[in-house]
């Protein structure tokens, strides 16, 4: 018996919502970064689920390659993001995004 596509999608959507909520509500920059990672992973789930369930894509590696690229990008993003946060912390002595409002004059 095959797990239906909708289940995967529901899990992914839930995961995305959790990630979005985290990214929007956390005051800690690292928390936000983690939320973003969650959203990226939910997308990965979607990619693989669709790849598996679409007739045209069967016999190719498209979905997996896509997911691997996303994971790579997510890793790079996490590295850059963490570096930024550390740099910001060194200057501002805080990682609270409420205080990081220098974009507003």
Partner 1 sequence: MTEFFFNLTWLIPLFPLASFAIIVLWTNRNRLLSTWIAWIGIGLAWILGWAILFLAWGHSSELTPPTHGYPVPLYSIPTGTTELQLGFQVDTLTGLMLFMVPFVCLMIFIYSKGYMNYGRENVDPRYSRFFAYISLFACGMLGLVISDNFVTLLIFWEVMGLCSYLLIGFWFDKSYSDPKRITPKQAGLKAFLTTRIGDVIMLAGMLLLYSQVKTLTFREIFSEETLHHLATTYAFPGMPWATLCAILIFGGAVGKSAQFPLHVWLPDAMEGPTPVSALIHAATMVSAGVYLVARSFPLFVAVEGGVQLAVVAFIGAFTALFSSTIAVAQNDIKRVLAYSTVSQLGYMIAALGIGAYVAAVFHLITHAFFKALLFLGSGSVIHGVEHGHHETHHGSHGHEFDANDMMNMGGLLQRMPVTGWTFIIGALALTGIFPWAGFWSKDEILADAWNAFQHGGHFGVSSGWAFFVWLFLTLAAFLTAFYTGRQIFLTFAGTPRTEAARHAPESVPSMTWPLIILAGFATFLGLFGTPWANQFYQLIGQKAEVLGEHLPHGEFNPLVAGISTVVALSGWFIAWLIYGREPLTNPVDPLEKRLGRLYIWLKNKWYFDELYMNYIVHPSVRLAQACFAFDDKLVIDPLVDAFGRFGRWLSEWLKDAVDIPIVDGIVNGVGSVTAKFGEFMRATQTGKVQNYLLVAAVTVLLLLVLFVVRA
Give the binding site for partner 1 (CB under 8 A): 20, 23-24, 32, 97-98, 100-105
Place of tokens 């069967």: 58
Closest CB 69 distance from partner 1, rounded Å:
22
Task: With CA atoms as reference, report the closest residue to 3 among 61, 66, 45.
Answer: 45
Alpha-carbon distance of 9 to 34, in angstroms, equals: 21
Shortest approach of partner 1 to residue 53 CB, angstroms? 21
* Residue positions counted in the chain: 105
Q: Could you tell me the smallest distance in angstroms from the CB atom of residue 101 to partner 1?
A: 4
Nearer to partner 1, 15 or 32 (CB): 32
């Amino acid at each position: 018996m095959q797990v239906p596509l909708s289940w995967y999608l529901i899990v992914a959507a839930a995961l995305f919502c959790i990630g979005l909520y985290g990214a929007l509500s956390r005051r800690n920059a690292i928390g936000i970064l983690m939320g973003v990672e969650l959203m990226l992973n939910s997308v990965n789930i979607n990619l693989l689920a669709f790849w598996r369930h679409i007739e045209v894509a069967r016999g190719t590696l498209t979905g997996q390659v896509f997911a691997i690229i996303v994971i790579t990008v997510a890793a790079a993003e996490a590295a850059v993001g963490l570096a930024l946060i550390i740099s910001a912390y060194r200057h501002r002595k805080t990682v609270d995004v409420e205080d990081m409002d220098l974009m507003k004059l």
